Amino acid sequence: MPDTSHPLHVERNTQALLQDMLTELNQLSDGGIGSGHDRLAEQFRQLRDELTRFRLRYKFALDAVTTKIDILREEFEEAHEHSPIEHVRTRLKSPQSLVAKMVKLDLEPTMEAVQASIHDIAGVRIVCPFASDVYWISDMLTSQPDITVLEVEDYIRAPKPNGYRSLHLIITVPVYLSDRTEHIPVELQIRTIAMDFWASVEHQIHYKYEGAVPDGLRDELRDAADTAASLDVTMGRLRGEITEFQH
């Protein structure tokens, strides 16, 4: 097995290194290397099982948050004329992504260090029709007594330099296990349809150019972000006029 602490290995592409580690892990776990490696194989199996159990808690946290969101969405669809939730997506970091972030943050290789330092293992993205809905959803969720807000980053009121606009929150939600209750962090990203469309295109371009986006294209993306924000403002104003007329 390669010495991953060696500087040459640290400088390698992280994904390639992780793939090598996972391939070897599978070989060892399947007993494909021989009895002389039984002890090492057992250590790998224990690490794999611990990581599986660790990620399961975050899956449960995702389930808890999405249940809350589903209840709000169904209530508004049945009882009100307008639902503030267009669609919802969830994401649970893969073991490869977790290890990559541990390497990036230079964390100790323990689950305790990961839980203390990485708060976006479980993520929920809520897409809303209007910008005002973003804050409405945020207020409704964070006012629930079993949710604790750890962090808020408002990129709508203060966009990132590239034009990115979204409301990010880190919350904790209780997960009731057989022998204890744990408060697990979940990242919420709440944005409008226009913001979500822009972010999706920006991500694809960023991935295609491996982060080195040409200046001209970068400027166009920034202009498109401003256009999306302007569209949100216009549509919000039009909705306000319609609502006022109906009353």
Residues catalogued as catalytic: 187
Q: Which amino acid would we find at residue 106?
A: D
Asked if 223 and 159 touch (Cβ cutoff 8 Å), the reply is: no
Q: Is the dihedral of CA 119, 124, 130, 136 positive or negative?
A: negative
Are the CB atoms for 92 and 58 separated by under 8 Å? yes
Query: How, if at all, do strands 167-176 and 148-154 pair?
Result: antiparallel
Enumerate the β-bridge partners of residue 153. 168
- Strand-pairing partners, residue 90, are 124
CA distance 65 to 123: 10
Q: At 167, phi and psi to the nearest 5?
A: -105, 120
What's the start-to-end Cα distance of the chain, in Å? 71
